[in-house]
Chain A
Amino acid sequence: MDIISGLTAGLVMTIPLIPASMGFYLALRCLKFPDLTIQGSFVFGLVITAYFIERGEPTNAFLFSCIGGAVFGCITGLLHMKLKVPSFASGIITSFFGTTLNYFILQKAFSSSAPIQEKNLSNRGFFEYFHQLDIESTTLGQYWFHTILSVTIVCVILLILVWLVVSSSYGRKFSMFGNNRQVAAIYSNNSEYYMVIGLGFTNLLVGFSGFLCAQIYKSADIGQGTTILIPLLASVVIGEFIINILKKKNSLKFVSKPLLSSFWGISSAPFIGFFIYNLIVLIFSTVLLPSVQTSENYSKYAISGFLILLIMVFNKKYSTTSNQDELI
């Protein structure tokens, strides 16, 4: 029972990162842009939320984290499209710029004279209501029920919104111009505009994720930006893999393809992928490794080894893909 509640707790704590996973996925697949800006825009979401929550203004926190994230994305887009800075470099440059800004905001939030790396918040903003319901309660179940309920509602609304955007006429253009930029140049003179706005939208989701995280974790940590990249990348691969299996139903083939045609696939793959990835990580770190009394430091070795094994087995047995470049 403890294991199950531990796993559930661990999974719940990753739910606020799902919008970031969605943003990263849309940038990578729809815009074909490996967007490293998320390091900056995610932390911006965290620190700006910290700033406004300390002032008791969660609505402003919501607005500014989303707008700020979108601005970060647009800056990256403009650097890439107008100044022809390569995609990786433009993301890194914006993140560098963002890091300085983030330190400044966090310093201001807690009226500190020296830069702060990490700080706990005084309350949970919008989630304070749910928290207060049973903050002092000893029944863990009730607490998680309320947290799961509130965060899941937010994420489901987000999923529906993203699905609506992606399946709209604008969303189709957004993914098609990212999918084939040469086509974009042939058909439209505004393709650069779609790219910039597209990156703005994906980073808006990442900023929103920062907003959720700051409230759920009740802390703002500048270093968190660098730790979210690998889970997000893993969620892309795993999510597409699972959806492709579901689509093919009876034929289990390790053909991980971008789900650009299937709009429900676009909107659900990062959710599923992120969930499964975290489940694997949690099973290793909370169940398997403690059972063999191994240090938690070795969990990453074990997880990477497991993933390599999994991919090797599937590739050997079922691989039919000739598009290796599509795997990531």
Chain B
Amino acid sequence: MSYTLTIPKFEPIINFEIRIPLDKTFAFHFLLGPNGCGKTVLARSILGLNGNNSSLYEDDQSKISIETLLLRRYMPQNPQDALFPQFSLNDNIFLLNKLFQIRKPLENKMILDLLHAKSSNQKVSTLSVGQKKKLLMQFIISSLPTDTCGLNHPIVVVLDEPFAGIDKNFSPTIQDMLNNIANSFLNTDVYFLIIEHETLINIPPYAKEIVVTLRHEIDLKIVYSNNIVLKS
């Protein structure tokens, strides 16, 4: 079964309906383009966060509400927008475990080791951007189902600039982690949408590409690929 994401006309940014076919034979769907081409707007529209009623069609027939809770996993450009900055790390771990409905809740110690943080009582607003991204990405990945057979609806994972703000030493780790995870969900109904700048990603020759112009006549490329390869 194949799915198509449909975002209705959303002026002044999108002045036409845009349809993005999801392809399960590819691990990643990249949204690439320069600043201002509408990558984030498109991603947020896909997730139904821009107020317009985007939807998902099964084989172009039956419509699925994009706002179904289990359907979306989102890491915004500023990870703080998906965390609770005024709460302590402890409270954030507790809440994210609940919100992502993680069966085996992540433990504080594991998160502290991952973030190299000293205390779980510190407020999340005091963490660096990179630490917040690691925290959120860990929860997003942990929340993905191990068995995709019984999946009722497809899951769309949107990562907005996952490599921005991450130190150079850790970027390859994230790159490998995403490659492993996404490829393990190949041919399943878990789709990874990655928003990045074209200058950062190497597009392999086999990649499939769609070009749309959302605004300002700047091209936005939707690239289907099986690997994230960062430019050195």
The chain A residues found within 8 Å of chain B, CB to CB, are 169, 172-173, 176, 179-180, 182-183, 185-189, 257-258, 260-261
Q: How many A-B residue pairs have C-beta atoms within 8 angstroms? Tell me.
A: 48
Taking CB atoms, residues of chain B closer than 8 Å to A180 are 81, 83-86
Beyond A180-B85, A257-B86, A261-B86, 9 extra complex contacts between A and B, CB < 8 Å:
A172-B94, A179-B84, A180-B84, A182-B82, A185-B49, A186-B76, A186-B81, A258-B86, A260-B87
Smallest beta-carbon distance A160→chain B, Å: 21
Smallest beta-carbon distance B13→chain A, Å: 18
Q: Which residue of the partner chain B has the closest CB to A260?
A: B86
B88 near A176 with CB under 8 A, answer no
Scan B84-96; emit 1 where CB is below 8 A from any A CB, else 0: 1111101100110
Taking CB atoms, residues of chain B closer than 8 Å to A261 are 86-88, 90-91, 123
B49 near A176 with CB under 8 A, answer no
Question: Given the complex of chains A and B, what is the CA–CA distance between A179 and B72 in angstroms?
Answer: 21
Taking CB atoms, residues of chain A closer than 8 Å to B83 are 180, 183
Q: Can you pick out 14 interface pairs between chain A and chain B where the beta carbons lie within 8 Å of each other? A: A169-B98, A176-B87, A176-B95, A179-B84, A180-B81, A180-B83, A180-B85, A182-B81, A186-B47, A186-B49, A257-B86, A261-B87, A261-B88, A261-B91
Question: Given the complex of chains A and B, what is the CA–CA distance between A189 and B49 in angstroms?
Answer: 10
Q: Which residue of the partner chain B has the closest CB to A326?
A: B86
Taking CB atoms, residues of chain B closer than 8 Å to A258 are 86
Task: Decide if B67 is an interface residue (CB 8 Å cutoff).
Answer: yes
A186 near B74 with CB under 8 A, answer yes
The chain B residues found within 8 Å of chain A, CB to CB, are 47, 49, 67, 69, 72, 74, 76, 81-88, 90-91, 94-95, 98-99, 123
Question: Given the complex of chains A and B, what is the CA–CA distance between A94 and B87 in angstroms?
Answer: 31
The 5 closest A-B pairs by CB, nearest first: A261-B88, A187-B99, A260-B86, A189-B67, A182-B81
Q: Which residue of the partner chain B has the closest CB to A182?
A: B81
Question: Given the complex of chains A and B, what is the CA–CA distance between A188 and B48 in angstroms?
Answer: 12
Identify A188's interface contact among B69, B84, B91, CB under 8 A: B69
B81 near A179 with CB under 8 A, answer no
Taking CB atoms, residues of chain A closer than 8 Å to B87 are 176, 179, 260-261
B84 near A183 with CB under 8 A, answer yes
Taking CB atoms, residues of chain B closer than 8 Å to A257 are 86
Smallest beta-carbon distance B201→chain A, Å: 25
Q: Which residue of the partner chain A has the closest CB to B72?
A: A186
A186 near B82 with CB under 8 A, answer yes
Identify A183's interface contact among B81, B90, B98, CB under 8 A: B81
Taking CB atoms, residues of chain A closer than 8 Å to B47 are 186
Taking CB atoms, residues of chain B closer than 8 Å to A187 are 69, 82, 99
Q: Which residue of the partner chain B has the closest CB to A262?
A: B88
B94 near A189 with CB under 8 A, answer no
Question: Given the complex of chains A and B, what is the CA–CA distance between A103 and B177 in angstroms?
Answer: 66
Smallest beta-carbon distance B86→chain A, Å: 5
Question: Given the complex of chains A and B, what is the CA–CA distance between A188 and B101 in angstroms?
Answer: 12
Q: Which residue of the partner chain B has the closest CB to A323?
A: B125
B91 near A172 with CB under 8 A, answer yes
Taking CB atoms, residues of chain B closer than 8 Å to A179 are 84, 86-87
Q: Which of B74, B82, B86 has the most CB of A within 10 A?
A: B86
Q: Which of A173, A176, A179, A257 has the most CB of B within 10 A?
A: A176
Taking CB atoms, residues of chain B closer than 8 Å to A189 are 67, 69
Smallest beta-carbon distance A321→chain B, Å: 13
Q: Which residue of the partner chain B has the closest CB to A188?
A: B69
Taking CB atoms, residues of chain A closer than 8 Å to B67 are 189
Question: Given the complex of chains A and B, what is the CA–CA distance between A179 and B92 in angstroms?
Answer: 12
A176 near B84 with CB under 8 A, answer yes
Taking CB atoms, residues of chain A closer than 8 Å to B85 are 180
Q: Which residue of the partner chain A has the closest CB to B87?
A: A261
Smallest beta-carbon distance A324→chain B, Å: 15
Smallest beta-carbon distance B43→chain A, Å: 12
Smallest beta-carbon distance B67→chain A, Å: 5
Taking CB atoms, residues of chain A closer than 8 Å to B74 are 186
B69 near A172 with CB under 8 A, answer no
Smallest beta-carbon distance A125→chain B, Å: 40
Smallest beta-carbon distance B72→chain A, Å: 8
Taking CB atoms, residues of chain A closer than 8 Å to B123 are 261
Taking CB atoms, residues of chain A closer than 8 Å to B98 are 169, 173
Taking CB atoms, residues of chain B closer than 8 Å to A185 are 49
Taking CB atoms, residues of chain A closer than 8 Å to B84 are 176, 179-180, 183
Q: Which residue of the partner chain A has the closest CB to B47?
A: A186
